[in-house]
Every structure is written in C-alpha cells, then in structure tokens.
Amino acid sequence: MAEDEEGSAWPPLSADRGVPAGASSVTVLAAESPHQIMNEWTSDPREILETYAAAIRANMLTYSIWAGNYALVMAPQQREILAAAGWSKADVRARVFERARVTRGEWRGVGKAAVASRRDEGQVYTALRSPDDLLVVAAGGPAGGFGVIVPPWYGRKSLAVTEVIRDGDTESR
C-alpha cells in the first residue's frame, strides 16, 4: 500500500525506519491478512487506540502470542483526532505497546484451555518487543473511523525489512 505522506501530520514510516528524507523505500512484512477495525464514536485518543489494541489482543488469543512487528494503518479521521490532541506516533506506539498484551490464562476463553494450563496462566505476553515494533502507517480514505491492524505471520521470524530504492539498486535498513 502507498502511504498518505502528504495527508498526515506525522512523519512517514520511512522516516521511522531511518530512511533519509527524499529517498524512496519499501517496507515488507510477512503478515497475516489485515484485520479491519472501526471506531467513529469517540474523539478520545485512548479509546481509539484501545480499539486497535483489542484487535491485536484478539489476534494474540486466536492466532499467536509471539511478539513481533504489527502494522497499524490509520485513516484520516482517526489520525486527525490524535494529531489535534497532540499525540505523536511515539505516543501511539507507547499506548498500544502498553495495552496490547494478554495472559496465558485468557486462552481458556477462546477454546485453548489445554494449552493455557501447560504453564503459568498468569504469564503476560506482549504483542510487541518494544514500542518501536509497531509500524504506524497513514493510509486509507476519508470514509469514517476505520483502520487496520496487520499482524505478523510469526513473531520474530517475520520482522519488517525496509529497503531504500536507488536507481534500480536497493540498500537494506
């Protein structure tokens, strides 16, 4: 997907990934299919981000608890609310990092009781190894409070890679 660099108050993903201004790049991530979210009933940044974190938690319970890169794709309406409230991408990453976690015991509620009981059910798993694991991308159209989470295919085994594109050549970042 192409990022909406001009329509966002935040720096583009390429800047977050260390790409020099003005350079073209591409970021790839071995991922599951996108999971759409929607919350257009609030102007509280914490509530908007809780919707994204809830989708990540649901993925952790039904697919994989292993931490890695998740992408959060946010359309204009929600980006504008967060930017107007003074929230930076770093704030978004920190909040989602704090909220996107589950305990092993929560697996009982999704039909995985046999797995939950194999270890300490109070053990906490985080979706991200650090806040910087969250790739915040500005994209999407103006049709409401929609967004997407893109879960990693398999935690650390599918970390995002960013390549700078230079006249037919590439350089890893």
18 domain residue, yes or no = no
pLDDT band at 45 (very low <50, low <70, confident <90, very high): very high
CATH code of 93's domain: 3.30.1330
State the pTM of this model.
0.93
Taking 90 as the threshold, does the pLDDT of residue 51 lie above it? Answer: yes
Taking 90 as the threshold, does the pLDDT of residue 166 lie above it? Answer: no
124 domain residue, yes or no = no
Range of the domain at 165: 23-101+129-172
CA-wise closest residue to 151 among 23, 6, 35, 25: 35
Answer for the pair 92, 13: CB distance below 8 angstroms, yes or no. Answer: no
Q: pLDDT digit string (tens) for 106-165?
A: 999 999 999 899 999 999 999 999 999 999 999 999 888 999 999 999 888 889 999 999
Mean pLDDT for the chain overall: 94
Number of structural domains (the chain) is 1
The half-sphere exposure of 151 on its side-chain side, counting CA atoms within 13 A, is: 27
Between helix 45-62 and helix 76-84 the angle, nearest 10°, is: 130
pLDDT (average), residues 68-79:
97
Q: Which residues have a Cβ under 8 Å from the Cβ of 114 and sit 6 or more positions away?
A: none
